[in-house]
């Protein structure tokens, strides 16, 4: 018999049992016990020859059918009846037989005096991971989805081992168990079936736990989540003392992301639309989709619960957050899901991100950032659940986001290590990282079969693909170009060759168009300054975009002069800045410009030596001249080198 609670006592009648006040507290009670089953009790909670309170649910020629609970019913044969009964009458029965087919038989009994004990259902709880078709089970977990279909109501229930869909039937299109909400701890009993190649629990009963039982279940669930969310014990791909403290932050984030998947929350990834951004996003996507497939019984869960999208700007624009928020709210309304976890990669660390984050703060949307742009931790810190950035550890942009995210992916799923060994080198070369470990990353890629020219071509192919994909994910195309999650090596090689050659052709054509229109001057510091009006003299709305165009022009001038160089590419209301050998501190320049030219509406930023700025078109001349004055005063530091171009 399952757990019994303190007993009432009473004598037989047709109503619910009443306490017997004549039994003194603390005295022995040798009267027979009649058990009163809770509504959710099952056959697990009954014993042969025990006495039970019952209610008649049907009268037939050969006896009466009685209910002991919602799930325990049986027949009192006419030969074992002592009286006449109608539907709704209560009586006491003795359980005489539970047959192999599940039929239950009772005798009608009439004890002169008895005590009543209430039986609470304590089912044998099964782990969701490991369920098989035909199993009759009870699972305990948190409701992570409540979706009404044209037929059943679908509840997603998560325990620490997995997530399963539970189909509860009422009338077609009518909400079953309307009191059950996302976030409730529940017991669900039913039979495991297969629907559309996925396991589904056909619900017999679903009960929200309450009070102490809910608190205990919640504690067990949270503890188990913490244990399973622990990241893999892996070391970074290369030995790098500067990376050790960053790696600890990545471990914490991996734990948070694993826990998010285990708890059934969707994920949405935003990343900068360039080579480093893609080298960051693709490994993380592969790791998280693999974990989603492992956790959910629905094979389509990765498709439904993970979404990756590029961002053209190196910060989270209001246009992007509005789309993301609308998508999230529609998902909650249509599919009964939790709101997603937002992961920002290769952007998200600056003051420019704050308005978008503040918009998300109105909703339950956690945010984490992995980025190597110069951060403003005071501005974004209060709005983030996790923030990984090399500047927070005394390092700088030379530690690229792609390098960090390969390690993040390995902490989530270490089995991906071999497939990702070339990716940090692609990320570093794409962003022109001068990190002391770049040679180690290139050597690691070489051991995996990638020469340096191969890595450069992959980076160019990614940039070219990102330009034409614009706001689309382009999952298969990008995965094939990076050779991560690609199932055809020959296709990868042919695709990279095609895309990189097209990119080189288009860059050469753009530089040829610009060459006669580049203005040059020598600053007092000795640095070269090059300016180009991209609106007037560059091919527009094609590859390369203004950011990439400025970067390629800058690189040619650095190679030609061998001296410190600053390049400004500008349009009607923007400019892109690149420098080598000059300490510009672009984020600080933006702050100063706003103070000096408040009417110009200056915004933007980026790294210390590469960035993009927007402003009011009518104040372009004033903004650019103010920038030039600041650049003329900038300190020469030949150890500084710009990273990859920023798209506009």
Domains of the chain, CATH where assigned: 4-119 (2.40.50.140), 136-228 (2.40.50.140), 241-451 (3.90.1640.30), 518-636 (3.10.310.40)
Q: pLDDT-derived band of residue 16, with 50, 70 and 90 as boundaries? A: very low
Across 66-91, average pLDDT: 93
Residue 372 CA, distance from chain mean position: 21
- Quick one: DSSP state of residue 364? S
pLDDT of 17 above 60: no
380 pLDDT exceeds 70?
A: yes
Mean pLDDT of 567-580: 94
For the entire predicted model, the pTM comes to 0.81
Token digits of residue 453: 């020219």
Question: What pLDDT is stored for residue 200 in this prediction?
Answer: 95
HSE-up (13 A, CA, CB side) for residue 432: 17
Write the burial class of residue 330 (CB in 10 Å: 0-12 exposed, 13-18 middle, 19+ buried).
exposed
User: Which two three-digit tokens encode residue 426?
Assistant: 């692609």
Contact predicate 424/398, CB 8 Å: no
Backbone angles phi, psi at 470, to 5 degrees: 55, -105
Task: Give the β-pairing of 519-522 and 198-208.
Answer: unpaired
Look at residue 286 and give its three-state secondary structure. helix
Chain segment 387-399, per-residue pLDDT in tens: 999 999 999 889 9
- Kindly state the tokens that stand for 374: 């110069």
Q: Which range (78-87, 514-523, 630-639) has the least confidence?
A: 630-639
**Mean pLDDT across the chain:** 90
pLDDT at 325 over 80: yes
Q: Residue 66's pLDDT is what?
A: 96
When pLDDT is averaged across residues 151-170 and rounded to a whole number, the result is: 94
pLDDT at 626 over 60: yes
Q: Is the pLDDT of residue 102 over 60?
A: yes
Q: Mean pLDDT across the stretch 18-42?
A: 69
Question: What is the pLDDT confidence band of residue 608, given thresholds at 50, 70 and 90?
Answer: low
- Checking if the pLDDT of 302 tops 80, the result is yes
Residue 540 burial (10 A CB sphere; 0-12, 13-18, 19+): exposed
Contact by Cβ (8 Å): 448, 471: no
Mean pLDDT value of segment 555-561: 93
The sign of the CA dihedral 233, 238, 242, 246 is negative
Give the mean model confidence (pLDDT) for residues 499-507.
Answer: 97
Q: Provide the token pair at 177.
A: 């168990």
Name which of 606, 234, 549, 637 is nearest 418 in CA terms. 234
Pairing of strands 603-606, 610-614: antiparallel
3-state DSSP: the chain helix, strand, coil percent, rounded to 5?
40, 25, 35
Q: Quickly state the pLDDT bin for 19 (edges 50, 70, 90).
A: very low
Please report the pLDDT score of residue 639 as a whole number.
61
**641 has a pLDDT exceeding 80:** no
Rounded Cα–Cα distance for residues 358 and 535 (Å): 34
Asked whether the beta carbons of 257 and 343 are under 8 A apart, the reply is yes
Q: What is the pLDDT of residue 1?
A: 53
């Amino acid at each position: 018999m399952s757990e019994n609670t303190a007993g009432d006592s009473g004598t037989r009648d047709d109503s619910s049992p009443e306490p017997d006040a004549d039994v003194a507290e603390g005295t022995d009670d040798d009267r027979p016990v009649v058990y009163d089953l809770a509504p959710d009790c099952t056959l697990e909670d009954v014993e042969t020859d025990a006495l039970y309170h019952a209610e008649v649910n049907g009268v037939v020629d050969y006896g009466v059918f009685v209910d002991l609970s919602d799930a325990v019913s049986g027949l009192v044969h006419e030969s074992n009846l002592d009286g006449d009964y109608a539907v709704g009458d209560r009586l006491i029965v003795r359980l005489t037989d539970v047959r192999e087919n599940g039929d239950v038989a009772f005798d009608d009994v009439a004890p002169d005096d008895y005590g009543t004990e209430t039986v609470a259902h304590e089912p044998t709880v099964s782990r969701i991971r490991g369920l098989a078709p035909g199993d009759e089970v009870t699972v305990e977990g948190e409701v992570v989805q409540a979706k009404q279909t044209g037929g059943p109501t679908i509840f997603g229930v998560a325990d620490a081992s997995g997530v399963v869909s539970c189909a509860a039937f009422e009338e077609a299109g009518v909400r079953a168990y309307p009191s059950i909400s996302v976030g409730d701890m529940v017991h669900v009993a039913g039979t495991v079936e297969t629907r559309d190649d996925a396991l589904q629990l056909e619900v017999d009963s679903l009960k929200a736990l309450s009070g102490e039982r809910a608190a205990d279940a919640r504690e067990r669930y949270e503890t188990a989540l913490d244990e399973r969310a622990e990241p893999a014990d892996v070391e970074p791909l290369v030995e790098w003392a500067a990376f050790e403290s960053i790696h600890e932050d990545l471990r914490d984030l991996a734990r948070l992301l694993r826990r998010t998947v285990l708890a059934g929350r969707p994920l949405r990834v935003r990343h900068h639309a360039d080579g480093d951004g893609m080298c960051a996003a693709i490994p993380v996507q592969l790791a998280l989709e693999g974990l989603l497939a492992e956790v959910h019984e629905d094979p389509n869960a990765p498709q439904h619960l993970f979404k990756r999208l590029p961002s053209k700007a190196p910060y989270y624009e209001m246009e992007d957050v509005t789309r993301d928020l609308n998508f999230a709210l529609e998902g909650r309304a249509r599919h009964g899901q939790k709101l997603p976890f937002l992961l920002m990669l290769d952007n998200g660390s600056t003051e420019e991100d704050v308005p978008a984050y503040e918009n998300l703060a109105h909703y339950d949307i956690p945010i984490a950032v992995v980025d190597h742009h110069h951060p403003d931790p005071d501005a974004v810190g209060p709005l983030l659940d996790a923030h990984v950035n090399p500047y927070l550890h005394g390092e700088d942009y030379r530690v690229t986001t792609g390098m960090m995210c390969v390690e993040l992916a390995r902490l989530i799923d270490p089995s991906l290590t071999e497939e990702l060994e070339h990716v940090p080198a692609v990320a570093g070369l794409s962003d022109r990282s001068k990190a002391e470990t770049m040679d180690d990353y290139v050597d690691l890629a070489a051991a995996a079969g990638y020469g340096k020219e191969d890595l450069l071509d992959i980076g160019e192919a990614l940039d070219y693909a990102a330009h034409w994909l614009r706001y689309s994910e382009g999952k298969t195309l990008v995965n094939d170009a990076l050779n991560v999650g690609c199932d055809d090596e020959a296709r990868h090689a042919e695709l990279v060759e095609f895309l990189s050659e097209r990119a080189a052709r288009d860059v050469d054509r753009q530089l040829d168009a610009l060459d006669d229109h580049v203005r040059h001057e020598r600053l007092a510091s000795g640095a070269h300054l090059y300016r180009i009006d991209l609106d007037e003299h560059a091919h527009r709305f094609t590859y390369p975009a203004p950011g990439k165009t400025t970067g390629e022009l800058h690189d040619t001038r650095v190679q030609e002069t061998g001296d410190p160089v600053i390049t400004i590419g500008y349009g009607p209301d923007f400019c892109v800045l690149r420098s080598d050998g000059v300490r510009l501190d672009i984020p600080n320049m933006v702050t100063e410009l706003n103070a000096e030219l408040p009417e110009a509406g200056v915004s933007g930023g980026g790294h210390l030596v590469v960035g993009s700025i927007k402003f009011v078109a009518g104040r372009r001349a004033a903004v650019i001249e103010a920038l030039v004055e600041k650049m003329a005063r900038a300190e020469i530091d030949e150890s500084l080198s710009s990273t990859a171009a920023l798209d506009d």
